[in-house]
Every structure is written in structure tokens, then in C-alpha cells.
Amino acid sequence: MALLLAGAALGAAAAEPNAERFPCKPLKEGGWAVLAHNGIKGEIRYRDGRVEPGDGELLKRAINACKRNGPVRLVDFSSPGGSVNEGVKMALHIREAGLDTQISPGSYCTSACTFAFLGGVNRAISAAASYNVHAFSSFMADPQSCDTIGPGSLSASGRPALFYLIALNTALGAGMSEDAITRAFTEYGKRAQCDPRSRMPAKFDLAIPMYLPVATIFRKELIRFEMESARNMLGLVSGNEFGNRLRHAPGASPGQRYERCTQLSAEIYGPNSKFMQERLLTRDNVGALFPRFEAHVINMEILDTLAARFPEVKTRLEAVIRKSGQQQALQQWRGLPVARQAQTKPPAIPEIDQLAAFIRDGTEDPQLPILGLKTLEPESFSGAKQLFCLLEGLGDVRLPGNSGTPSYLDRMFSVSILTTKSVDRQELQAMDIITDTEGGPR
């Protein structure tokens, strides 16, 4: 209600259609602030050709409208995040307008909001506020999933876990009822708790019964894969041919620097680029970067965990391995370090290979699509490129760390999606972010 009153008191600014979304507020010491206290929504394109602009454009309009009242000094954030694309646009518009950014006491900036916040010329976070990050991931849940849980709206890791259990029944004949599994997932989802501020699930295990450990293993392994994939790709983006060719024209704006970076990364690392095509060929089209046999490593860890919890799975798994005559070969393969396993062909056991292929390829059912590892790589790469190019465009945000894995990025790649973690004070200060501000918008 306070935001609406603040916006209504501004005369000309309140007439702007975006003034309610990004209100303009006077500062105590003079000048004005634009308040970004919402989720970050993306552009909407309608079939009739109409386009509803995203928050990047709306914030730009709000800043220009607010300037009619006097000089605009900063953007004040309190946001659970949303569209990464729009978060990047917001950051670039803020920098090109020469504004500062801040997060006031009691506020938080999470997910895509952290990208937008980096656009400030000077960046300040109250000691009583939080700046939260999580890993890049393609496994996004519906933001309204807490309100729509049902058989067709299982969570991000719940659906592949459910389908894996169904595939397990088919491959091993493990005797786990498909109907019982589906009912258990659905019933658990109805009891999920949500964060009332953001309507996002309070925990990642939404719609996943805790007594089905395959879901937890799926989460851990898929996030670990995406973490490694994005980190490897970021290393590629920041070096080699790309690093040598990334040159900007004198006086280029942050937006122009960002566009140059994204254009060049698309040329060199796009899906049809020579680089990606060559890598795909060397891996039998199972992925450009992750090891060819990664899916088998993940599959065996899931099977071992299930076998430890469910006697019927253990019995059937042991029977399949005995029948294959590959016990010794499988034992030798399992004895390899994980990094070697991921690059070494496992013994051929058709039933187990079928399950590994599911993890690698996902499903082709258009009604219930499940992304496999080979389809996640481009999504992870997209997030890594956007962050790299945003920092390249801004030019002054330092990321602490060394050896090609800055600690801030490492944290982003290691915190599970939907499980956010606040960046600590020391790390924020290393990024030239002031963390001892007090009071609301200055």
C-alpha cells in the first residue's frame, strides 16, 4: 500500500503506465529513487503480433519519467528475481543512466535481481538486507507451482525422478507400482510449503516424498552436472579464440559491449558453430562438453542408493548383473575414480544402459517432456554467457577468486536451483559492493 501511495503522490510520474510497477520516490537528501520492488517479468509476445514489454524496457521508461521530477540518483531493489534476460537489460539501462543501486534494510535481492543490481555505478547493500544467489539451471519450477500442484505439475526434479522409477520397473522388473509412485508424488506435492513472499517452493523437494531417495539423488546429480558444465563453458567463453577476438570500439556503451560479447559468443560457441559441431562428433552426439559416459556414472549412483533402501531393487539389480556375466568388469569400472569413470566405457548391460540413456536423452513425449543431460548443456551455457557478457559490458565489477573459477561464480554454480544462499559480507566488499549502509532509500 505504501508503494501505491508513493506513486500516487507524484503527479506526472504516476500517469505513466509503468509508474505503479517502478514507483518514483523523493530522497531525503535531494534527488529521486526508482523502486524495483517486484519480481522481474519477461517480455510477452502475443499471436496477433502485440508485444508486452518486459521489465528491462519498463524500468528504462520509469527512470525517464521520474527524471521529470528532478535528478534521479538510484534504483532501490527488493526482488525475488525472475527473467535473467530482463535482469541483464535492467543492469545495462541502470549503468547507461549513470545511477547507483541499493538494497535497503529488510529487503532482499535474489536470483536474476542480482544481475540487475550489478548495473549500479555504486552498489550498496544494507547490513540488514540479503543478496542471494543460486546455480544456473534448466530445471526451473513454475513460480506458481505451490498453487497448482497436481499429477501434471510435478516439480523440477520430481518429474524426471518419477519417470526414472517407471523406467526402472520396465528395465529391471523391480516390482515398484507405477500407480503407487505417482500417487505418492502427487500427495506429497499437496502438502508442500511455500515462501509467502515469492510464491516459490520453500524447498527444492517439492512434490517429492522423502522416502523416494531417487528424487534427492536426481537433484544432486543433475545440479552437479549443470554446475560442472557451466563452469567448463565459462572457461571457454573467457579464453581461447573468443578472448583474443573480444575487442570493443573506443567509447562503446555498456549495452554495445554486451551485444558485441553475445554476438561473438554466438558465432564461436553457437550450436551450429564449427567448435560445437566438432565436439559433438567426437562424443557421438551425446554432448559437447560433458564426458560421453557421464550418464552411466549418475545412473549407477542412483541405482546403488535405491538398492540400499529398497530390497526389491537390490534383488533385481543383482540378478540382472549376474545374468550379464559382467560382475567383475562392472566392479573394476566402479573402482575407478569418478572422473575416470565418466570418461571410460562401462561394461555393456542392456537394462542398465537403458536407464543411463534415459538420463542422457530424457523423453520425447511432447506431453511430458523430460530434459536429458545432452539438452541441458546449451541452457547452462546460455546462463554462463549472459553473466560473463554482462560483466564484460559493465566493465568494473570485480569477481573475487582465481584460477578461472571466481568464488562468486563458484557459489552460483554450487547452490541448488530454488535453494538460494546469501553472499557473505567479505565477498560482497571484494566485488566493490558497500555493505554497511543504513536506512531506506537515501
Mean residue pLDDT across the chain: 75
Cell of 2: 505504501
Higher pLDDT: 403 or 259? It is 259
3-state secondary structure of 361: helix
Instruction: Indicate yes or no: pTM above 0.85.
Output: no
- Could you report the per-residue pLDDT of 133-157, keeping only the tens digit for each? 776 655 444 333 444 333 344 445 5
- The burial class, CB within 10 Å (0-12 / 13-18 / 19+), for 35 is buried
3-state secondary structure of 424: coil
Residue-level pLDDT at 205 = 35
- Report the percentage of the chain scoring pLDDT > 90: 28
- Could you report the per-residue pLDDT of 341-381, keeping only the tens digit for each? 988 999 999 999 999 988 888 877 776 667 777 776 666 66
The answer to whether the CB of 64 falls within 8 A of the CB of 32 is no
**CA 245 to CA 268: how far, in whole Å?**
10
Residue-level pLDDT at 215 = 59
Higher pLDDT: 242 or 62? It is 62
Q: How would residue 410 be classed by pLDDT, with cut points 50, 70 and 90?
A: low
Q: Where, residue-wise, is CATH 3.90.226.10 in the chain?
A: 2-134+420-437
- Report the percentage of the chain scoring pLDDT > 70: 64
Helix (H) / strand (E) element for 73: namely: strand 72-77
Helix (H) / strand (E) element for 61: namely: helix 55-66
Q: What CATH number matches the domain at 2-134+420-437, 3.90.226.10, 3.20.20.70, 3.40.50.980, 3.40.50.2000?
A: 3.90.226.10
Instruction: Give the mean pLDDT of 32-36.
Output: 97
Higher pLDDT: 410 or 327? It is 327
Higher pLDDT: 231 or 263? It is 263
- Could you report the per-residue pLDDT of 91-125, keeping only the tens digit for each? 999 999 999 999 999 898 988 899 999 999 999 99
